[in-house]
Amino acid sequence: MKELLTEFSKFKKCILDNKNRFIRLKNVKINELNVNHLVITQIKELYDNLDGLMESCSKLVAKTKIMHFLLPNLIPPMDRRYTMKFFKKYLPTIKLEKDKEKEKEIKIFLGVFEKMIKISKDLDFESLREKDKEFTPNIPKAIDNAIIGWVKKNLNKKIN
pLDDT of residue 1: 46
Res 95 pLDDT > 60: no
The answer to whether the beta carbons of residues 58 and 105 sit under 8 Å apart is yes
Domain ranges of the chain: 8-159
**In the predicted model, is pLDDT for residue 27 greater than 50?**
yes
Phi/psi for 54 (5° steps) reads -130, 155
- The better pLDDT of the pair 158, 130 is held by 130
The chain-wide mean pLDDT, for the chain, equals 82
> Which 8-state DSSP code applies to residue 84?
I
Q: How confident is the model at residue 160 (pLDDT cuts 50, 70, 90)?
A: very low
Distance CA 20, CA 41 (A): 15
Q: 120 vs 56, which has greater pLDDT?
A: 120
Amino acid at 135: F
What pLDDT is attached to residue 6?
Answer: 72
